[in-house]
Amino acid sequence: MLYSEDVFKRVTELGGSIEVICGSMFSGKTEELIRRLRRAQIARLRVEIFKPRTDTRFDESAVVSHNANYIHSTPVDHSSSILLLGSEVQVVGIDEAQFFDGELPRVCNMLANRGVRVIVAGLDMDYQGVPFGPMPGLLAIAESITKVHAVCVKCGNPALYSYRLATERSTVLLGEKESYEPRCRVCYGLQA
């Protein structure tokens, strides 16, 4: 999207931006999202957090990390709901972005253009090592990208892949350590 100088000046003055936190499962994406959102709350900014309604692994409405840290959130069915529910805020947090519909990048752009700081966390690749859902689009438009790594359970090197242990082959399979383990490029390739 090309911006005229006036639009770019207005967006910069308003302070809107898109930050993406991505990586494999067990890499600390949600932990980092919660940390950034808590800092925004400490700064007394108006914050709203969203997650896909389908993600009920830890809690129906809270965003919960593997370390059991949590922050209250609003579950939504479609990314367009974020525009309505996040209309009076300064910071929007979005967890498990890979499970959202393809409109999420457009929604994040609209929020950032309004001056909202948008912080998004999600898997950048599915269990087959393929870019996941709306994440490639978000990575392309983000002002800031933080790629976090887990530890490979086979060799101890930095892991960027989510290796699926379960035999289920659908792209989306909500699970934890019983279904997935983090692996480095070499150990993922040797076992995949």
Rg of the chain, C-alpha, whole Å: 17
Among residues 19, 32, 48, 96, the one annotated as catalytic is 96
96: annotated active-site residue: yes
Contacts of 185 (CB under 8 A, 6+ apart): 160, 161
Task: Tell me the catalytic residues.
Answer: 96
